[in-house]
Structure 1
């Protein structure tokens, strides 16, 4: 996968830049300097220097391989083939720092766009129309990245458009685009839960095909949402409990009342239930035959 991205980036025709997410590094400036590159923070605050987006210019593309190796599987960089200089890309990125989306009350709100996160940018570019993509890309001839969810090399060339489409201002998503983004996020979450079960409970899930396991995960997630389960981690644990009970965990005596008694959050209740199951299994294994 790194070789595929490296080949794409090497062939890009214009100035090459990486927008790197500092949140994925312990000390982005030091780590990048160690491989002979310079990471310029896009925001000069202490937090911006520590975990914010940074811009890297490749004067020689030989340094690409070192950066890709250092990033590894993290979705920590978005690569821009940019016709202008670093200063114009910097201004362009800062002008795209927010995105305008529908809120839950029929109005609009502006939210932060993590434009250095490969997963976020790929998901966004997938749902933009031609005018929106031209607005987001500005003077770029292409944008490329390696996502981690799923693991793929993505390449987005600029579509030929009239200059009038490259208008300023924040990107504005329609309700339909926001719904598509949410659906894609949910689908990726289900695949992550399925992968967690494959790694953590092979004895229980190896007999299931990928489609069947996703069907189980989806049914468990929908059930879990109805009783207030929120985090992905808790949904994975709830799916495991459903697998252990052939999908009948809520039919077990007292479980529904326990989940809804209000003494702790449903996520916390799932954690406690799983611990009880593990303790009981260990005690059973320790009993003499």
Structure 2
């Protein structure tokens, strides 16, 4: 869960203008919730008139934390003021345990920050790198694809910078120049991510020696994407170790994390050969590998069923897991009767 208490303390102690970007995809209807909470806010996606109601509801929103909708000066959003503790408390009540808030410290004001954020909604990734788009990268439903010839080696994707877990993966992986490009006019970015990424709130601050960011869209390098993928793989492996210890207590009793990591490395390799994609499917396959001591990977009948059983391998491995669990339970019941 997000560490809202620590975030609140940091924000109020800063005594400077702070704004928040909220991930609409994590709310049922974020624009309505902000309206009901009397927040001054603006959507960060450009609606060209072809966006559905659902797409507009899930768009990220920039909200002001120094005033509410009833403020006589609510329309003068370019003139920043200190954060309102009342609005901050109202925000945390809305966000709850979601990792759906990224805070921007920006002395230039909300209007300047709004214009900047609109320029980093879309970023460019190298097409030469195989990567798991995962939660951090999604096609923008309101964006037009780029046909710029000079960017033929890159693809335009949505940068979900309103999701604090995404920021925890991406920001530490960026070069100094690209970090400056993300910060734009802001002095600092603050967020609280899952424990997979950090036990404490994370922040990025502008340094005096930061270079002038390159003009144009943020274009990640092969090395940056590689670092992001490495962080994801490590976090996924830690989650799977916890899952195996919980799901297979007898089989994992006494096993070190290093031994389980080696097991997961083999499980991931064989799972990829079967066509598994989702983390859930890889967890199930890791369970099956532990429960059968690796023998299931040597069964042509099982592996062929997962690859070619009629639906996606991710779904097929779920069916195999159900039947395996039923068989193991029956075996244990028989052993208990002997």
SS in 1 for 2:28: coil
The answer on whether the counterparts of 1:135 and 1:167 sit within 8 Å (CA) in structure 2 is yes
> Is structure 2 residue 56 aligned with structure 1 residue 56?
no
1:16 paired residue number: 18
Deviates more, 1:25-34 or 1:181-190: 25-34
Between the aligned partners of 1:206 and 1:2, the Cα distance in structure 2 is 36
Q: Say what the alpha-carbon RMSD is for the aligned residues.
A: 2.6
State TM-score, norm by structure 1.
0.88
Work out whether 1:29 is the aligned partner of 2:77. no
Residue segments in structure 2 that go unaligned for 5+ positions in a row: 67-83, 130-151
Task: Find the residue that maps to 2:99 and give its secondary structure.
Answer: coil
Secondary structure at the aligned position of 1:126 is classed as: helix
User: What is the TM-score normalised by the length of structure 2?
Assistant: 0.76
Distance 1:253 1:125 in 2: 44
2:273 is the counterpart of 1:226: yes
Aligned partner of 2:138 in structure 1 is: none
Q: Which has the higher mean CA deviation after the structures are superposed, 92-101 or 199-208?
A: 199-208
Measured after TM superposition, the shift of residue 16 of structure 1 is 0.4
Identify the structure with the greater helix proportion. 1
Deviates more, 1:58-67 or 1:140-149: 58-67
Q: Return the alpha-carbon distance in structure 2 between the equivalents of residues 195 and 73 of structure 1.
A: 21
Q: Distance between the aligned counterparts of 2:184 and 2:308, measured in 1?
A: 53
- State the Cα distance separating 1:176 from its structure 2 match: 1.2
CA–CA distance in 2 between the matches of 1:7 and 1:145? 13
2:312 pairs with 261, 265, 270, which one?
265
Q: In 2, Cα distance between the equivalents of 1:189 and 1:49?
A: 31
> Structure 1 stretch 153-162 or stretch 93-102: which is displaced more?
153-162
Distance 2:192 2:156 in 1: 27
Consecutive unaligned residues in structure 1, runs of 5 or more: none
Q: How many residues align?
A: 288
Structure 1 residue 170: deviation in Å? 0.9
2:184 aligned with 1:177, yes or no? no
Q: Is the 8 A contact 1:197 1:240 kept in 2?
A: yes
